[in-house]
Amino acid sequence: MDRSVIPPYILDRIIGHGSERQRASARGTLSHVQALRQNPGAPQLAKPQTASESAAPGQPNRSIHDAEQQMQLPGVLRRREGQDDSGDAAVDEAYTALGATYAFFWDVFGRHSMDGQGFPLIGTVHYGKAYENAFWNGEQMVFGDGDGEIFNRFTVALEVVAHELAHGVIESEAALVYVNQSGALNESVSDVFGILTKQYALKQTVQQADWLIGAGLLTDAVNGRALRSMSAPGSAYDDPLLGKDPQPGHMREFVETRDDNGGVHINSGIPNRAFYLAAMAMGGYAWEKAGQIWYDTLCDARLANDAQFLDFAQLCVDNAAQRFGKASAEVLAVARAWKEVGVGVES
């Protein structure tokens, strides 16, 4: 089972409009992603083959491997928990990002890794040749180097690493089915925790944050800022090669498609904007209020694995009421945020 950061529609655009080298890289990446998705199985955290004994609560257990441009996992061990920098930028970026993600979930939610029980954080870098993606396979993180023309190496964006690890948290808590609206929620909640991890690491308020997913992934040759914008879905890029960012920010623009598992990477823009609006209305640090509400909702036993946007939105309002009080400004902010993106809820 795979959750990859680059949507298939972007790879399709490159295959249709890129240079010979760019098309070859995108074609190889897309065929690999499709192969991974053919037999996804039940969404669950696998037991890593390379796992060592669990770390104590509050301590991550990281190991970073080098695939040496092959497609075999996990690869050669380059750095394990507590060791100094390796000198390889991708190895050290992955190590730092896994640590920052662990620190966010532990410090903010008291969660001991993805499963809450010290799940080892395993990463592999230099995966494949000019591989244009990063993905979570149920056992570990995997990072390509990009082609250097459209995409930089996939370890440069902390929020992308945190996004992929958040898929593991979702699998452990709610197992949101990766198709249609529940799949778009899966992607959105991963974006939420990805952006919160970056904001927490940088100690940014909601006003200071860029609200971009994949900032730095696109090279200077591309007319774009990131893969997605949570504040303004549809505005992350507009490029002759990649096309225009297709994400909607309101239900009236909801995309009906069979591609991309029913548009999981496209329609996630709607709940993404709802979170952004709620966080902005509450102000301060997003992880202190809005982030807590979204985490409570993810862990809510009432959240079905095939939840629709309206189901999730109503639980957000309920959890805001439980945490801050039924008549609180937080409840009003959450209800208004969802209504503003076309998902009407009762407050």
Residues 6+ apart with CB under 8 A from 163: 5, 190, 191, 193, 194, 213
Residues forming beta bridges with residue 141, ordered by sequence position? 123, 136
Alpha carbon 47 to chain centroid, angstroms: 21
Rounded-to-integer distance, Cα 226 and Cα 26, Å: 18
Find tokens 């799949």 and name the residue: 183
One-letter amino acid identity for 208? Q
For residue 244, give the 3-state DSSP assignment.
Answer: strand
Cα–Cα dist 345/266, whole Å: 22
Q: How far apart are CA 85 and CA 79, in angstroms?
A: 8
CB-CB contact of 320 with 345 (8 Å)? no
What is the C-alpha separation between 253 and 73, in angstroms, rounded? 40
DSSP bridge pairs for 121:
62
Residue 65 falls in the annotated catalytic set: no
- Please choose, from the candidates 260, 290, 71, 120, the residue with its C-alpha nearest in 3D space to the C-alpha of residue 184: 260
* 104 token code pair: 């966010």
**Crossing angle for the helix pair 180-202 and 158-173, nearest 10 degrees?**
130
Going by the DSSP 8-state scheme, the letter that residue 234 receives in this structure is: T
Q: Which two tokens stand for residue 37?
A: 């998705």
> Is residue 164 annotated as a catalytic residue, yes or no?
yes
Task: State the Cα–Cα distance between residues 300 and 308, nearest whole angstrom.
Answer: 15
Q: Which of 64, 84, 87 is nearest to 74 (CA)?
A: 64
In degrees and rounded to multiples of 5, residue 105 shows phi and psi of -65, -35
Residue 203 has which token pair? 């100690």
Q: Which of 32, 65, 126, 265 is catalytic?
A: 265
Question: Between β-strands 121-125 and 62-66, what pairing exists: parallel, antiparallel or unpaired?
Answer: parallel
Catalytic residue among 164, 171, 173, 187: 164
Catalytic residues: 164, 265
